[in-house]
Chain A
Amino acid sequence: MTFEISYEQRMLVDTVRGFIKDELTPLEEMIEQTGALPDDTARAVFKKSSALGLYGMNIPEEFGGGGLSCLDQMMVEEQFGHTTDILIRRAFGNVYEVLLSCTGAQVDRWLTPAVKGERVCSIAFTEPGAGSDAAGIKTKAVRKGDKWVLSGMKHYISDGSFSDFFVVTAVTDPSKGHRGISMFLVDKGMPGFSLGRDQAMMGIRGTSHLDLHFDEVELTDDHLLGTEGEGLKLALSVLGRVRLAQVAARAIGKSTKILQMTLDHARDRHQFGQSLGDFQMVQQMLADSAIEINAARAALWDCAAQLDAGQDVRTKISALKVQGAETLGRVVDRAVQIYGGMGFSKDLPIERYYRDARIYRIFDGASEVHRSVIAKTMLKGSTSVFDPWSA
């Protein structure tokens, strides 16, 4: 029972790493300075990456995606962590697996164009009163004859300014709580749908975070994704893999890149007549970062392999969400400490990595929420998250 890296996996990682290093990393500083990735640059990046088959690799081949297994996808997502959120979106796509629930005419209208990169999609679940509590939404869709009328607002919708359509959660039956929530596909430009302000953020510059306003937007059943009332269940069933990929794997990739840079600095920087790496307190920080990254990746691969085998790994995903995010937090904090004044300065990207890292403990369910999920699951009697012999 070992994870032996196959040559296909190695080649794929080499391609993704090389592409990021040559095509994406050089754009990062410009995006940080201007706060945006120009559309023509975005298109050029997309064209090059999609020619290499790197767009939508998580989607099965039958829908035009790369057809990667979950484990392969995690290896690739780890590399994505070496660059920034907005560049990942443009180069590799953010094609949510939830779109695989498209049926009939929905496939050609939303799924296929999203996989091909012709249309870009954002998830719109979050509201001012519903963050980690995805069931606490106020946005509602009311049946009116053969139509649905959507009203309410969403906020912090990542990439909202660029996206062409949105997967929106709305209450369709207020009496049923989280079983009364459905998902809708809403195109930008529909009457009654307007974009609000772009919320400036601490980090991940270049990605917009928009308010969306729905003022009696008329939708048909064609816009209903999945079954009425099953919206939250469907979302939760597919968002686990997204969480594993976009938070845990990317955080591990970021940690890896940052530790590599920190090692170089510790080797090259001399103080008091010796390299920083000769100081034992620096050595401890470097070793701790390595130990934590190694543990997190081993857990990630284990979880991904189990997901590929069709096992229920929801608790492990929660554990990895926390482990990845918090490993990144500690690794980047040590990096700033070892770089010292240079780590705090805007001349180096370390301070940017530090700001960008903070959201990982918050988005896709805050650490506290996931810890709570883990604890409750164990208290109910399911302990396979830490004891494989118990299942």
Chain B
Amino acid sequence: MKVLVPVKRVIDYNVKVRVKADGSGVDLANVKMSMNPFDEIAVEEAIRLKEAGKADEIVVVSIGVKQAQETLRTALAMGADRAILVVAADDVHTDIEPLAVAKILKAVIDAEAPGLVIAGKQAIDNDMNATGQMLAALTGWSQATFASEVGIDGDHAVVTREVDGGLQTIKVKLPAIITADLRLNEPRYASLPNIMKAKKKPLDEKTAADYGVDVTPRLTVVKTSEPPVRQAGIKVGSVDELVAKLKEAGAL
């Protein structure tokens, strides 16, 4: 079975994000970029399926700027077999909207015919949490989102999902779209030999136009702003005091 894993290049999770002075977005100049952490988990899960003999090829795909090939190389160094870069923007500040991404992925699926797609549940830059679900709708495949455990059972996947209030286990028919949650696994480091091997693995470059997808944004970003600075808290000595303070603050 071939597994397709979409990966996104985002601001590294360790970076202290700065909003641009004109409020038009986030400042990406001289900022460390990395693979979206949920996508890293998705790549790791695909590699584990391959190691367990449940998958035989892992194809990673990234849609965005040319620099996303570094993100793909990271996935190849972790253990993916080959990569597809779909260049859909020139400017690193351009974010491709989930529906456009899903349409391109649908076209990639039509060409590659994978038996399974594992995606991150969301990207940590704009937290849309939409691409996996939209892709399921476009392909008509089953979806199993927020996975914390994945098993392959014949022509089905058994997926434990993290839902409000607990865990839900569902069985979906393959091919399917799975989106990875935080606790699915702990991604491995790329080993030195695999980093060197990644150089030689194939990386195909395409454009959004090759798939006939219009990536023009449908959404308008009105304003980007820093979250409000958190006010210093106070310590209360008793429940009575807590209740009194909450009433004072108009919260009760």
Partner of A10, one of B70, B191, B192: B70
CB distance from B228 to the nearest CB of A (A): 18
Docked-complex contact A11 and B191, CB < 8 angstroms = no
Partner of A7, one of B73, B191, B193, B194: B73
Q: Chain A contacts of B190 at CB under 8 A? A: 11, 14-15
Docked-complex contact B70 and A52, CB < 8 angstroms = no
Task: Convert A1-35 into 0s and 1s, putting 1 for each residue whose CB lies closer than 8 angstroms to a CB of B.
Answer: 00000011011101100110000000000000000
Docked-complex contact A15 and B74, CB < 8 angstroms = no
Verify if A51 is at the interface (C-beta below 8 Å from B). yes
Verify if B1 is at the interface (C-beta below 8 Å from A). no
Verify if A53 is at the interface (C-beta below 8 Å from B). yes
Q: Chain A contacts of B191 at CB under 8 A? A: 15, 51-54
> Which residues 44-95 in B have Cβ within 8 Å of A in the complex?
70, 73-74, 77
Q: Chain B contacts of A54 at CB under 8 A? A: 191-192
The contact size tier of chain B is 10 to 19
Verify if A57 is at the interface (C-beta below 8 Å from B). yes
Q: Chain B contacts of A52 at CB under 8 A? A: 189, 191-192
> Which residues 359-375 in A have Cβ within 8 Å of B in the complex?
none
Docked-complex contact B189 and A7, CB < 8 angstroms = no
Task: Convert B186-201 into 0s and 1s, putting 1 for each residue whose CB lies closer than 8 angstroms to a CB of A.
Answer: 0001111111101100
CB distance from B41 to the nearest CB of A (A): 15
Chain B residue at minimum C-beta to C-beta distance from A65: B192
Q: Chain A contacts of B192 at CB under 8 A? A: 12, 15, 52-54, 57, 66
Docked-complex contact A11 and B73, CB < 8 angstroms = yes
CB distance from A117 to the nearest CB of B (A): 14
- Indicate the member of B73, B74, B189, B193 with the most A CB atoms within 10 Å: B189
A-B contact count (CB 8 A): 38
Distance of A12 Cα from B10 Cα, bound (Å) = 19
Known contacts A7-B70, A8-B199, A10-B70; A19/B193 CB under 8 A: no
Docked-complex contact B189 and A15, CB < 8 angstroms = yes
Distance of A18 Cα from B74 Cα, bound (Å) = 14
Q: Chain A contacts of B198 at CB under 8 A? A: 8, 11
Chain A residue at minimum C-beta to C-beta distance from B71: A7
Q: Chain B contacts of A8 at CB under 8 A? A: 195-196, 198-199
> Which residues 42-59 in A have Cβ within 8 Å of B in the complex?
51-54, 57
Distance of A8 Cα from B193 Cα, bound (Å) = 11
> Which residues 286-310 in A have Cβ within 8 Å of B in the complex?
none
CB distance from A51 to the nearest CB of B (A): 7
Distance of A51 Cα from B192 Cα, bound (Å) = 9
Distance of A10 Cα from B195 Cα, bound (Å) = 10
Distance of A57 Cα from B193 Cα, bound (Å) = 10
Distance of A111 Cα from B193 Cα, bound (Å) = 20
Distance of A8 Cα from B194 Cα, bound (Å) = 10
Chain B residue at minimum C-beta to C-beta distance from A52: B191
Distance of A66 Cα from B191 Cα, bound (Å) = 10
Known contacts A51-B191, A52-B192; A11/B74 CB under 8 A: yes
- Indicate the member of B192, B194, B199 with the most A CB atoms within 10 Å: B192
Distance of A7 Cα from B70 Cα, bound (Å) = 6
Distance of A18 Cα from B198 Cα, bound (Å) = 19
Q: Chain B contacts of A11 at CB under 8 A? A: 73-74, 77, 190, 195, 198
Distance of A325 Cα from B216 Cα, bound (Å) = 54
Distance of A66 Cα from B74 Cα, bound (Å) = 19
Chain B residue at minimum C-beta to C-beta distance from A8: B195
Q: Chain A contacts of B77 at CB under 8 A? A: 11
Task: Convert A57-84 into 0s and 1s, putting 1 for each residue whose CB lies closer than 8 angstroms to a CB of B.
Answer: 1000000001000000000000000000
- Extra contacts, 8 of them, besides A8-B195, A12-B195, A53-B192 (Cβ < 8 A), are A7-B70, A8-B199, A11-B198, A14-B34, A15-B190, A52-B189, A54-B191, A57-B192
Residues of chain B having any CB pair with chain A under 8 Å: 34, 70, 73-74, 77, 189-196, 198-199
18 residue pairs bridging A and B, Cβ less than 8 Å apart? A7-B70, A7-B73, A7-B74, A8-B196, A10-B70, A11-B190, A12-B192, A14-B189, A15-B190, A15-B192, A18-B189, A19-B189, A52-B191, A53-B191, A53-B193, A53-B194, A54-B191, A54-B192
Residues of chain A having any CB pair with chain B under 8 Å: 7-8, 10-12, 14-15, 18-19, 51-54, 57, 66
Query: What 10 pairs across the A-B complex have the smallest Cβ distances?
Result: A53-B192, A52-B191, A15-B189, A53-B191, A7-B70, A53-B193, A11-B195, A7-B73, A66-B192, A11-B190
